Amino acid sequence: MKKALFSALSLALLYGCASTPVEPERPAAPSVQTPGLPVAPPLAERPVQPAAPQIDLSKRSVFFEYDKYDVRDEYRPVLQAHGKYLAENRGKKMLVQGNCDERGSREYNIALGQRRAEGVKRMLVLMGATEAQVEPVSLGEEKPRCSDHAEGCWSQNRRSDMLYGGEY
């Protein structure tokens, strides 16, 4: 009983951010890419008895600080979920698209966005995916989710998105 409780607790910790209701990550902006992105079914209600671990693949974005491309710890669980999924489904492929806010040279931002995609790819490979399954690419500042010249918008655009084959 104690062992089961411990497992339930550690699962709760590991999937802490995933167990909260899945809120829409994308603001309803008309120019956002890939409408109709299939979302994994929401987590089933937590059973009283700990069930097999649910993998929440609905979270697809990793956000970054200005001029930075290192993946923050808070995203480990998300990347662990996707890495595990890719490890268990070797036929699945993923495109990681890195993005930047509007500031600076467009071409330099292609390179910076690429670093943000690479960072996520490296994590996914550590978590079980193979190199061949994940292609990191950059959209630079070319496909922003919003267009205000302010940090509220810029922070939304500094991100990497994970797309599975068939979604792009």
Partner 1 sequence: MRSRTFAPLLAAILLLAGPARAQLTIEIIGGGANQIPIAVLPFAGESALPQSITEIIEQDLSRSGRFRAIFVGGVSPPPTEIAQVNFPEWKSRLADAVVIGQAQRLSDGKFEVRFRLLDVLKQSQIGGIAFTLTAAQTRLTAHKIADFIYEKMTGERGVFSTRVAYVVKQGTRYELRVADADGQNAQSILISSEPIMSPAWSPDGTRMAYVSFQNKKPILFVQNLTASKQPAPVANYRGSNSAPAWSPDGKQLAAVLTKDGTSQIYLMSADGTNLRRFTVSGGIDTEPFFTPDGQSIYFTSDRGGSPQIYRMPAGGGESVRITFEGDYNVSPRISPDGKILAYISRVSGRFQLMAMDLESKQVQTLTDGQRDESPSFAPNGRIILYATDVDNRGVLAAVSSDGRFKQRLGIQAADVREPSWGPFLGN
User: Applying CB under 8 A, does 146 fall inside the site for partner 1?
Assistant: no
- The token pair at 77 is 């669980």
Identity of the residue, 15 or 136, whose beta carbon is nearer to partner 1 in the bound complex: 136
Query: If we measure between CA atoms, which residue out of 156, 154, 117, 164 comes closest to residue 139?
Result: 117
Shortest separation between residue 115's beta carbon and partner 1, angstroms: 7
List strand residue ranges (DSSP E) for the chain, in order.
61-63, 94-99, 134-140, 159-164
Q: What is the spatial distance between Cα 99 and Cα 114, in angstroms, rounded to a whole number?
A: 8
User: Applying CB under 8 A, does 125 fall inside the site for partner 1?
Assistant: no
Q: What is the spatial distance between Cα 99 and Cα 157, in angstroms, rounded to a whole number?
A: 6
Residue 159 in contact with residue 61, Cβ under 8 Å? yes
Identity of the residue, 42 or 104, whose beta carbon is nearer to partner 1 in the bound complex: 104
User: Applying CB under 8 A, does 108 fall inside the site for partner 1?
Assistant: yes
Site stretch for partner 1 (CB under 8 A), options 7-15, 86-94, 134-142, 152-160? 134-142
User: Applying CB under 8 A, does 139 fall inside the site for partner 1?
Assistant: yes
Shortest separation between residue 158's beta carbon and partner 1, angstroms: 16
User: Applying CB under 8 A, does 49 fall inside the site for partner 1?
Assistant: no
